[in-house]
Amino acid sequence: MIPYYSGNIYDSVVKGHLTIEQWIFAHHSPKQHVVEILNEVAKCRDDHDKKQKLKTKLYYITPSVHILKGNKRQYSNIEYFTGYAQLDFDKLNSIAEAEELKTYLFNQFDCLKCVYLSPSRLGVKAIIRIPMCKDVEEYKDYYKAIETEMVQHSSNFDHAPFNCVLPLFINVDKTILSRKVPIVWDVKEDRTIDYSHLNAVESEWGRQRDHMTKSLFTVTHFKDKMTAIVDGDGHPRLRSACLVLGSRAGAGYIDVQQAEELMDYMIETNPYLRHKLNTYLKTAHWCLKQGFMNPSYY
C-alpha cells in the first residue's frame, strides 16, 4: 500500500493508503475538481508561488516507502520499502516531444509500471518496479543505477527522486500507459566503490554518517549561519541560509515543519533581524519553500 498526504507540503502527515492500481485509475479517470485544478496549474507554469498554492488543493503520495497513517513523511518513519520508485523527466520543448518520450520509455522498459505526462504537459512521470529494499542506502544503490541508464535515453532526467520520500502529486493523463505485471529492475550500483574524486575526509564522513548525524549537522549549520548575521548584509545571508535549510528539508534530513519552527525562532531571537521581523519572516518562508523544491544531498 502507498501512503497519501494532503497537497500542503507543510502538512506531512499520512492521511491514508491506496494501491498503485488506484493511483493509475485516478489519472485515467480523474474527478472533475482535480481536472479543474490541474488545468489552472498548467496555465501558471511560470508562476511558482501560484502553482504551489493550487497544489495544496490536491494530494500526493510517496510511492517508494510505506509510512503508517498519522506519522510524518520522513526517513525515521519508514516502515518498509514498497518496491517502486518514481522517475521524472522535466523541461521538454513541446507536448509532442513529451508524448514521444512517454511512449518510448514505456516500450523500451518492461520494468515501468506506468508512464504519464506531468501537469505542465512538458514533462514525463513514471513509476518503476524495483526490489523491496532493506534500507535507504540500498534504495539509493538501485536508484543510482537507474539514473545511469535513464540519462542515456534523455538528458531531461531529474535526479530529485533519489530522495525516497519526495512527494509525487496527483495528475491527469487519460492516456496513461500502464502494465499489470512489470518486470523488476534488479541492477544495483555500489556507490562506495570509487571516491577517489572526493576529499578523503569528506568521503569517509559521507559513507559513515547516518541520518541522525545528517539531521544534526543540518540544524547546527543553520544555527551557525543565523547567529553570524549581525549587520547590514543580513538580508542576503538570511536568504542563503534559508534556501539551504529548505533544500535539506527537501532531501529529508529535517522535517519541513521543524525547519520552519527553527527558522522562525532564529529570526525572532536575532538582535539584528527582529527589528524588521515581518519582512525577514516573509523572505525566510519564501526561501524555505524554494529550497524545498530543490533538494540538496550531502
Sign of CA pseudo-dihedral 99, 105, 108, 111: negative
Highest mean pLDDT among 36-40, 157-161, 182-186: 182-186
> For residue range 167-178, what is the model confidence (pLDDT) as tens digits?
999 888 999 999
In this structure, are 165 and 22 located in the same domain?
Answer: yes
In this structure, are 173 and 209 located in the same domain?
Answer: no
DSSP secondary structure string for all residues of 131-170: ---SSHHHHHHHHHHHHHHHTTT-TTB--GGGSTT--EE-
Q: Which pLDDT belongs to residue 294?
A: 86
Q: Which pLDDT belongs to residue 233?
A: 75
- Give percent above pLDDT 70 in the chain: 88
In this structure, are 107 and 52 located in the same domain?
Answer: yes
The residue from 123, 143, 178 where one domain ends is 178
Q: What is the mean pLDDT of the chain?
A: 86
207-211, 244-248, 290-294: least confidently modelled range: 207-211
Q: Is 188 domain-assigned?
A: no
> For residue range 68-79, what is the model confidence (pLDDT) as tens digits?
999 999 899 999
The residue from 178, 212, 232 where one domain ends is 178
pLDDT band (50, 70, 90) for residue 190: low
Q: Is the pLDDT of residue 42 over 80?
A: no
Please answer whether residues 206 and 298 qualify as being in contact, where contact means their C-beta atoms are separated by less than 8 angstroms.
Answer: yes
Q: Is the pLDDT of residue 80 over 80?
A: yes
Number of structural domains, the chain?
A: 2
Q: Is the pLDDT of residue 195 over 50?
A: no
Q: Is the pLDDT of residue 200 over 60?
A: no
Q: Residues 195-216: what's their mean pLDDT?
A: 58
In this structure, are 135 and 271 located in the same domain?
Answer: no
In this structure, are 48 and 161 located in the same domain?
Answer: yes
pLDDT band (50, 70, 90) for residue 193: very low
CB atoms within 10 A of CB 298: 13
Q: Which pLDDT belongs to residue 201?
A: 45
In this structure, are 54 and 141 located in the same domain?
Answer: yes
Q: Is 139 domain-assigned?
A: yes
46-60, 235-249, 271-285: least confidently modelled range: 46-60
Please answer whether residues 117 and 106 qualify as being in contact, where contact means their C-beta atoms are separated by less than 8 angstroms.
Answer: no
Q: Is 91 domain-assigned?
A: yes
E strands along the chain, which residues? 2-6, 16-18, 59-61, 65-67, 78-81, 84-89, 112-117, 124-129, 168-169, 177-178
Give the Cα separation of 72 and 223 in Å (integer). Answer: 24
Q: Which pLDDT belongs to residue 46?
A: 62
Residue 211's domain comprises 203-292
Q: Which pLDDT belongs to residue 100?
A: 96
In this structure, are 160 and 207 located in the same domain?
Answer: no
In this structure, are 103 and 155 located in the same domain?
Answer: yes
Q: Is 187 domain-assigned?
A: no
Q: Is the pLDDT of residue 252 over 90?
A: no
CB neighbour burial string for 209-243, b if at least 16 within 10 angstroms, e if fewer: eeeeebbeebbeebeebbeebeeeebeebbbebbb
Q: Is 192 domain-assigned?
A: no
Q: Is 159 domain-assigned?
A: yes
Amino acid at 201: V
Q: Could you give the 3-state DSSP secondary structure of residue 6?
A: strand
In this structure, are 28 and 169 located in the same domain?
Answer: yes
Please answer whether residues 13 and 102 qualify as being in contact, where contact means their C-beta atoms are separated by less than 8 angstroms.
Answer: no
Give the Cα separation of 121 and 98 in Å (integer). Answer: 7
The residue from 127, 143, 178 where one domain ends is 178
In this structure, are 128 and 232 located in the same domain?
Answer: no
Q: Is 172 domain-assigned?
A: yes
Q: Is 286 domain-assigned?
A: yes
In this structure, are 79 and 162 located in the same domain?
Answer: yes
In this structure, are 76 and 156 located in the same domain?
Answer: yes
Grid coordinates standing for 174? Answer: 487519460
> For residue range 101-154, what is the model confidence (pLDDT) as tens digits?
999 999 999 999 999 998 888 899 999 999 999 999 999 999 999 999 999 999
